[in-house]
Amino acid sequence: MNKKCTGCGAWLQYDYPKEIGYVPEKVAIEQSQPLCQRCFKIKNYGSYIPVNLDKEFYKNEVINVIKDMDAILLILDIIEFESSFDKEILSLLKNKKFIIAVNKIDLIPGNKHASEVSDWIKMRLFKEGLEALDIAVLSTHKNYGVNGIFRKFKHFFPNGAKIAIIGATNVGKSSLINKLFNDNRATISKYPGTTLKTVKHTKEKFVFFDTPGIIPKGRLSDLVCEKCNLDIVPSNEISRKTFKFGKDRVLFLGGLAYFRILKEFDVKPIFSVYLSKNVIFHETNKDKIDSIIEKHSGNMLTPPCNDCKTDYYNNKFKSEIIEIEDKEELVIKGLGWLTVKRGPLIIELTIPESVEYVIREAFIEPKRPEDMF
């Protein structure tokens, strides 16, 4: 068949029901723009059918597409920023004209003005030696800022352009396509890897190429089952909890990670933790760490759930000593972040070896400690 699924971009075929792009023969013949069976089940029943494609498959697809593009639209996830601001993804922008779209701004607790977000992104790009044509702050869920993206491209490319939409998995590329074209053409799923091949969309003099999401390195959320992945990746405003701990107190972030306060100060450090509301916090003493993991992971401490906790704890773990200063943040890729309000904060962080963390200048400006207690 010489047809692509309009939802995920896979080439359609009706010979192998368990392979990518399968569609019943009758549907393939009778419909001009059929969906593959996988996209049909995702859209109509919320069913998820995983595919076994490695990271290089998605990355190579994107590299091949951007060669002939006039410009790139890079979608960033403000909640999962460090993963979507991945070095490998940023390398694709070298010597290219590009616009940045920062999605999911509606999930940030409190008020964060779009200009503040834009300035923070510009600072991060500058440190990477990059400069965008423009930055759009948006929420595809709330339909905020979406139309402004098209206006920006019309401004910079009045005669039209070929534009590749790229980004990490789950940043909202397909959701943006649906909003830009005011229909439901692209298959949307909270699971990674929904878009399998590039899908072309035309609007006026512009051709948008919706590429598969690139799977970044070091995400904790990629180590759990599909259900727990959804629990970790927030779909609503994220949770913010503030703590004032002394030495040897321990905070569990679900059963996924934990950290211990290593040093006592005359004035206790104050910090806030930002996570999905489905990740359970638990505070304890250092001598109870092992017993709590053994007795409560999968029930009181979730995620991981009972179905995936064995696989999760089979990962090798690392414990590293980290010092975070005032107005700095510790980001655990694929999980969340910690902002120090009053520091320094010296901790021992325990996470799987493959998971990466970043210390960055605070995105959410800490309140004065005296205003918090």
Sign of CA dihedral 348, 352, 353, 359: negative
- Distance, CA of 22 to CA of 70 (rounded, Å): 33
Per the CB < 8 A criterion, the answer to whether 223 and 352 are in contact is yes
- Distance, CA of 259 to CA of 332 (rounded, Å): 12
Sign of CA dihedral 54, 190, 256, 245: positive
- Distance, CA of 30 to CA of 1 (rounded, Å): 13
pLDDT of res. 33: 79
Per the CB < 8 A criterion, the answer to whether 13 and 19 are in contact is yes
Digits of tens for pLDDT over the chain (373 positions)? 688 888 888 889 999 988 888 999 888 888 887 888 888 888 787 776 777 667 788 889 899 999 999 999 999 999 999 999 999 999 999 999 999 999 999 998 877 788 889 999 999 999 999 999 999 999 988 889 998 999 999 999 999 999 999 999 888 888 888 888 887 666 655 666 677 788 888 999 999 999 988 889 999 999 999 889 989 988 888 999 999 999 999 999 999 999 999 988 888 999 999 999 999 999 999 999 999 998 998 888 999 999 999 999 999 999 999 999 999 999 999 999 999 999 999 999 999 999 999 999 998 775 654 544 4
How many C-beta atoms lie closer than 10 Å to residue 337's C-beta? 24
> Was domain 53-217 assigned CATH 3.30.565.10?
no
Secondary structure (3-state) at 29: helix
Helix H or strand E segment including 311: helix 309-313
Please state the domain extents for the chain: 53-217, 222-371
Sign of CA dihedral 276, 282, 288, 291: negative
